[in-house]
Amino acid sequence: MADIYDRDSELQSRLNAFLADNLGLPSVDYYSRLDLAGFLKLKSVLSDINNILTLKVSLAFAQRASSLLGLDRDTTRRIESQVLATKPNANGYDIELSDPVKIIAEIKCNIPINNGRVYGSAQRDGIAKDIDALVNGKSKSPMRPDDCLKFMVFLDTPEVRAASEHFIKNMKEHKERICLAGNKKTIRSLDRVYVAFVTF
């Protein structure tokens, strides 16, 4: 006889295993210890996960940009300081640098849906919107894209790389302007949007 799926048991097992395996907590039944107030607090904390990922990837990109463009340590620190001083979901680009080189960057921490290698439609729409803003500008940013090196930054996982490549291959707008970030010698054009993959 086939096993009958039990949603409650599955969720209980996944939560307990995550806490024990990733946080080094004792293997006990945390799921059963949480009441409504506990689950609501946990939900509130976890709602910041995307903001945490964006912060970590932004800081990692500061290092990557420094390496790609040959920026000095003081410039790298300025990018990091700007990232740390920017509130989550603030207007403008995720990263804006005006000196010694003008850079704008958008950070995307999308994971392809259903553990796949293709973005969902809402994810594609969000990426397309960010690329359009890198090309055409944002009304609430003082940065002019025509004067800036432009970067679209993704997490570096095999699934994200595959989904991003699929997305770029099937883009309708700006496709001819997208290219992978290579090195200092190849990142020169202000007409391009350079795609960078970073990890932390």
Distance of alpha carbon 131 from the chain centroid = 14
pLDDT (tens digit per residue) in 144-183 = 999 999 999 999 999 999 999 999 988 888 888 888 887 6
CA distances from 199 to 30, 46, 50 (A): 30, 20, 15
| 102 Cβ neighbours under 8 A, 6+ residues apart | 143, 147, 148, 149
The 3-state DSSP class for residue 24 equals: coil
Distance of alpha carbon 103 from the chain centroid = 17
Question: Considering only CA atoms, which of 57, 52, 30 is closest in space to residue 41?
Answer: 30
Residue 179 confidence (pLDDT): 83
Question: Which 8-state DSSP code applies to residue 145?
Answer: G
Alpha-carbon radius of gyration of the chain: 20
pTM for this model (two decimals)? 0.82
pLDDT (tens digit per residue) in 28-47 = 999 999 999 999 998 888 88
Assess whether pLDDT exceeds 70 at residue 1. Answer: no
pLDDT (tens digit per residue) in 45-79 = 888 888 899 999 999 999 998 888 888 899 899 88
